[in-house]
Amino acid sequence: MTESLTVRDNRTGQEYDVPILDGTIKAADLGKIKSSDDEPGLAVYDPGFVNTASCRSSVTYIDGEKGILEYRGYPIEQLAEKSSFLEVAYLLIHGALPTKAEYEAWVHEITFHTFVHENVKSFMQGFRYDAHPMGMLMASVGALSTFYPDARNISDAENRHIQIVRMIAKMPTLGAWSFRHAQGKPYVYPDNDLSYTANFLSMLFKMSESKFEADERLVKALDVLFILHADHEQNCSTNAVRSVGSSQVDPYSAVAAGVGALYGPLHGGANEAVLRMLKRIGSKENIPDFIQGVKDGNERLMGFGHRVYKNYDPRAKIIKKACDDVFEVTGVNPLLEIAQELEKIALEDEYFVKRKLYPNVDFYSGLIYEAFQFPPEMFTVLFAIGRTPGWLAQWSELVQDKEQKIARPKQIYTGDRGLDFVPAAQRWA
Ligand code: CMC
């Protein structure tokens, strides 16, 4: 038996049967409910898409109440512990784990697309000395579309594949160069003898040495952070990628939109905000006053709360563990003590308990990034590099989904109607 919803329109007394499929009703079915033939049909008002499914997706599963996150069915805890970022990227893009031969071919392809055209370097050098690296990353990813005009041929599977490989491969190069730019240091070319993450660290930190060798524990920790950020179903930036991608534009332009969305403080910029907040609090004694300010609505406890998780964010647990590994190499970040005390107090406070506000992925990630000596402006760049396979897996799913259409929400019009226009010369006379 098909499940359905019976709706009675009290304006007309008419009843409608609306089919329920996968726990949803189709908004178009509600559109058939009208008070009269010349009225528009019923629509759903949902700012922020709080309760609206925009697609079917088999990439990532989240159960926010239970704190579960799975990529293609595999729990994030197992992937973080036993996989690598490039294997996870393969999984997200292809939908299944690679065979040995597939994995080697994938790593080879990504490794040999890490270089960018020299002109990319020239225009990146044209940014102001104090340009925010996220602005540089957004602009340079978008600009790649001009270097690969064939990318607009999105209906060709082979073509999509090569653009996906290019983007995953080149993001660390663009990210590292935007970092070097702010420091006034020469850009470092990729070293294709190194792993994906070790090469990224080399492009970031190499100076005059002939080979940059990062501590393996740091390489592993950063690789885990990339895995944790690799996808998160229909979040703000993924929605931006899908929304822009729905116009059938090339994937570089769509991903540039995702980078833009990620830049915002309520999304990827939150870990930068967490760090600023911890520095502002300054010492454990100031925590009660700070918490009171949050409860009075003067500010937010950054790194807490999530649209989907109403439980401890599973990624935050893994990051807490990674903190220990990184601090073993770099020494403990003094802000850790404040963060831990803040978490302890907040988790016991009725305000946070009642609203189910728990630490999210960004609460501890900033502390790790700072231990790596990244300035806060770089944190979101790291998030963007990790999220790229997820954006591309979602984009690839979108362009092959026959049910998708160009994104074009409705509105409730609240402005004036039918005014008479008086030309400026008469109005100002
Ligand atoms: N501190 C204090 N109060 C909060 C917080 C917070 N961090 N987050 C939510 N609340 C309160 C909010 O004031 C509201 O209270 P009331 O019902 O009394 O008005 C209630 O909790 C529900 O909040 P909301 O704003 O309706 O929830 P949302 O789903 O729209 O927002 C959020 C989710 C992540 C934007 C929000 O929790 C927030 O601003 N957190 C701080 C920023 C942050 O850490 N962002 C990173 C998110 S995880 C990384 C990512 O996926 O990008």
Judged by DSSP in three states, 36 sits in: coil
Average pLDDT over the chain, rounded to an integer: 95
Q: How many CA atoms lie within 13 A of 296 on its CB side?
A: 7
For residue 356, how far is its CA from the centre of ligand 1 (angstroms)? 10
- Annotated active-site positions, please? 267, 306, 362
As a CATH number, domain 45-404 is 1.10.580.10
Probe ligand 1: pick from 307, 319, 342, 387, max atoms within 8 Å of CB? Answer: 307
For residue 1, how far is its CA from the centre of ligand 1 (angstroms)? 40
Q: What is the pTM of this model?
A: 0.92
The residue with tokens 């020239």 is 122
pLDDT of residue 312: 87
Residue with the smallest CA separation from ligand 1 atom 9 is: 305
Residue with the smallest CA separation from ligand 1 atom 44 is: 303
Distance, CA of 58 to CA of 126 (rounded, Å): 41
At 34-44, the pLDDT tens digits run 999 898 999 99
Probe ligand 1: pick from 232, 271, 360, max atoms within 8 Å of CB? Answer: 360
For residue 316, how far is its CA from the centre of ligand 1 (angstroms)? 16
Instruction: Report the pocket of ligand 1 as residue ranges, CB < 6 Å.
Output: 232, 235, 266-268, 270, 294, 300-307, 355, 357, 360-362
Is it the case that residue 1 has pLDDT exceeding 80? no
At 88-140, the pLDDT tens digits run 999 999 999 999 999 999 999 999 999 999 999 999 999 999 999 999 999 99
State residue 304 phi and psi, 5-degree precision.
-120, 145
pLDDT of residue 103: 98
Distance, CA of 20 to CA of 25 (rounded, Å): 5
pLDDT of residue 376: 87
Probe ligand 1: pick from 306, 309, 345, 379, max atoms within 8 Å of CB? Answer: 306
Is it the case that residue 242 has pLDDT exceeding 70? yes
Whether the Cβ atoms of residue 277 and residue 302 lie closer than 8 Å to each other? yes
Distance, CA of 363 to CA of 305 (rounded, Å): 10
Residue with the smallest CA separation from ligand 1 atom 38 is: 305
At 314-338, the pLDDT tens digits run 998 899 888 888 999 998 888 999 9
The closest-lying atom of ligand 1 relative to the alpha carbon of residue 304 is 7
Residue with the smallest CA separation from ligand 1 atom 11 is: 355
Residue with the smallest CA separation from ligand 1 atom 21 is: 355
For residue 216, how far is its CA from the centre of ligand 1 (angstroms)? 36
Distance, CA of 323 to CA of 191 (rounded, Å): 27
